[in-house]
Structure 1
Amino acid sequence: MRPLYDPFGRPLSLPHPPQRIVSLVPSQTELLYDLGLRDEVAGITKFCIHPDEWFRGKTRVGGTKTVHADRVAALQPDLVLANKEENVREQVEALAQDYATWVSDIETLDDALDMIRSIGALVHRAREAEIIARKIRGRFDRLEPVQGPKKRAGYLIWKDPYMSVGHDTFIHHMLGYLGVENAFADRGRYPEVSIEDLQGCDVILLSSEPYPFAEKHVEELLQAVPGAAVALVDGELFSWYGSRLLHTPPYFRNLRTAIAGID
């Protein structure tokens, strides 16, 4: 395991298992649960919806981008877990002045597996983390290669304006495992896209998060982009980079079958 550092580049090592963890990242909160932690997790965000018992029972310290420092302080954490993209740098650095803090940076599946192992080391659950990471790696490795030309896919995460994903995102990397070509791979991060931009897509995938796309939006896009098939997809299985990745390969396998049937 490579050395771990806090946001200021200081070595981060916890000689004793942390007992007051605050997680500011939904997918990492779920990972903590799957690593076997229970009372050790003291605080979560309002977006940490898995597991449900934690969502209903744990102290919420705000949103991923609106962390209330006073609520964190009241919990007196011995470890804060954050993420470079999902949390606000200034808020995280302010917490790191007072508490042991680790920030993940995820763009690829390998990054996600490194994160799982790193958190496992920090919370003294290295063996459990290694088991999860190996299971995820094995399930992705067993995804069969896509035969024939890849469908050109537009993955939408927002409406008014429509927003998609560029080449430097975790979702883009997951689209590769799904076996489709990201229609907006030439753009960065989360670009705004127009109906005209979507005209060249074979398929348009509407994510369940962060915008709650529904069947009415499918109908709207079928009319606006008549040359494309449109489908609702589970956004958590494209964007959550913790232990939920265990469920992504079988979901992708089924979704591939549906996409392959598109003329």
Structure 2
Amino acid sequence: MVSLVPSLTEAVAETLPGTLVGATDWCSHPADLDVTRVGGTKNPAVDRILALAPDLVIANEEENRAPDLDALRAGGVEVLVTVVRDVPQAFRELARVLTACGARSRPRWLDEAEETWSAPAPARPRTTVVVPIWRRPWMVLGGDTFAGDVLDRLGFENLYGTHPERYPRVPLQDLVDASPGLVVLPDEPYRFTAADGPEAFPGLSCALVSGRHLTWYGPSLAEAPRVLAEALRAVRR
């Protein structure tokens, strides 16, 4: 198998060790994954993947480009494309991928993660948030996104959650003028840090969070509510 999605790489490696023969350069978990690297999610080396002769390539409709997937199919490789827009869909797609990769039963971590997310959102006033994912230009989480659903289930209201675009470009001053209760700054895809991000939002509370726990849908889902809740409480001004 070859995985073109970091979340799915982690899920397959955790459940079926030794199954993967290739993964992208961005597949950072598990840290000791020893497979052929096949380039990025947006620019995979199709020839390198075909040379591995995988039984299956697992991909995602958002993270991977249709022309690359079409080229793999043209080369005779089966491609499974996932669609993940919310937490329940993530669990369904993970089960589908693992079954396609040869799992005979649901892994324990998947059941534990689903149980963790079965709890209702905290019964408290919902804090409004904006979630930049890039700067130069500034882009934020819009509507119909997995990460947006994660935050909603944790009791936060994304001020751009009803935007028709999934990742709209929004001028910085508009973000500041929206006066969110919290600016959520993940460390991927743009790597926001204490020195690169909070300074753009003077007077607003900012929380640096793990992009893996906010945007990945794999084994990290089991600990994501706790990790994100801790990070969102540790705000910066």
Normalised by the length of structure 1, the TM-score is 0.83
Residue in structure 1 matched with residue 187 of structure 2 by the alignment: 208
Q: Are the counterparts in 1 of residues 138 and 169 from structure 2 also a CA contact under 8 Å?
A: yes
Q: Are the counterparts in 2 of residues 218 and 231 from structure 1 also a CA contact under 8 Å?
A: no
| Aligned counterpart for 1:80 among listed residues 57, 62, 69 | 57
| Aligned counterpart for 1:30 among listed residues 10, 20, 43 | 10
Q: Are the counterparts in 1 of residues 207 and 232 from structure 2 also a CA contact under 8 Å?
A: no
Alignment of 1:177-256 (within 5 A): 177-187=153-163, 188-198=165-175, 199=177, 200-223=179-202, 226=203, 228-255=204-231
Q: 1:123 Cα deviation (Å)?
A: 1.7
| Aligned counterpart for 1:121 among listed residues 91, 94, 99 | 99
Residue in structure 1 matched with residue 122 of structure 2 by the alignment: 145
More moved, 136-145 vs 188-197? 136-145
Q: 1:218 Cα deviation (Å)?
A: 4.2
**Corresponding letter in the other structure for 1:91:** D
Structure 2: gaps (5+ residues): none
3-state SS of the aligned residue for 2:69?
helix
Q: 1:120 Cα deviation (Å)?
A: 1.8
**Corresponding letter in the other structure for 1:246:** A
3-state SS of the aligned residue for 2:130?
strand
Q: 1:219 Cα deviation (Å)?
A: 4.2
Counterparts of 2:229 and 2:68, CA distance in 1: 39
- RMSD (Å) for aligned C-alpha atoms: 1.9
**Corresponding letter in the other structure for 1:35:** T
| Aligned counterpart for 2:144 among listed residues 168, 190, 209 | 168
Q: Are the counterparts in 1 of residues 209 and 228 from structure 2 also a CA contact under 8 Å?
A: no
Counterparts of 1:231 and 1:133, CA distance in 2: 28
**Corresponding letter in the other structure for 1:221:** A
1:87/1:219 Cα in 2 relative to 1: closer, same or farther (>3 Å)?
closer
1:161/1:133 Cα in 2 relative to 1: closer, same or farther (>3 Å)?
same
1:253/1:211 Cα in 2 relative to 1: closer, same or farther (>3 Å)?
closer
- Which stretches of structure 1, 4 residues or longer, exceed 3 Å deviation after superposition? 255-259
**Corresponding letter in the other structure for 1:74:** A
**Corresponding letter in the other structure for 2:140:** S
Alignment of 1:34-49 (within 5 A): 34-38=14-18, 40-49=19-28
Q: 1:236 Cα deviation (Å)?
A: 0.9
Alignment of 1:9-28 (within 5 A): 21-28=1-8
Residue in structure 2 matched with residue 59 of structure 1 by the alignment: 36
Counterparts of 1:195 and 1:68, CA distance in 2: 36
Counterparts of 2:153 and 2:230, CA distance in 1: 13
Residue in structure 2 matched with residue 133 of structure 1 by the alignment: 110
3-state SS of the aligned residue for 1:167?
coil
Q: Are the counterparts in 2 of residues 221 and 230 from structure 1 also a CA contact under 8 Å?
A: no
Q: Are the counterparts in 2 of residues 43 and 72 from structure 1 also a CA contact under 8 Å?
A: yes
Counterparts of 1:100 and 1:215, CA distance in 2: 43
| Aligned counterpart for 1:102 among listed residues 80, 90, 101 | 80
Q: 1:126 Cα deviation (Å)?
A: 3.7
**Corresponding letter in the other structure for 1:99:** V
